[in-house]
Structure 1
């Protein structure tokens, strides 16, 4: 599995709506956290090997009503 983290900037007052819709409709999202700072939400996503990250973000996350901007971080290795 490929793990990515996506920071989401939401339209004003829409962060909770975006979070609830994301976890309810997108199976690749494992966690959604509300955060402070430049972005409103942090999403942890697991994608199948070979899955196109750009298409996933564009087709799944950008399609959520209330999403204004995203910043995607691709991971290499998890240290536990």
Structure 2
């Protein structure tokens, strides 16, 4: 299983459209609206790197409202109780 976080910059005035489009993808586990250089952080869960690549190229890059993305692939997870 691959867990990744995508930092997303929405086009001006398209934040809500962008969020709605992202919610439709089963690969996206969480969406957070944030302050700063990016507008959204999305948690992505897929089976492998090939699926992540396909998801980004065939679904995210054509999503309405997205201007720019950066994907961070998790190396290790440390859960807190």
TM-score after normalising by structure 2: 0.88
Q: Which runs of 5+ in 2 are unaligned?
A: none
Superposition pairs of residues 8-47 of structure 1, within 5 angstroms? 8-23=8-23, 25-47=24-46
For residues 64 and 49 of structure 1, the distance between their equivalents in structure 2, rounded to whole angstroms, comes to 21
TM-score normalised according to structure 1 size: 0.89
In 2, Cα distance between equivalents of 1:51 and 1:14: 29
Gaps in structure 1 of 5+ consecutive residues: none
Shift of 1:57: 1.1
Stretches of 4+ aligned residues off by more than 6 angstroms: none
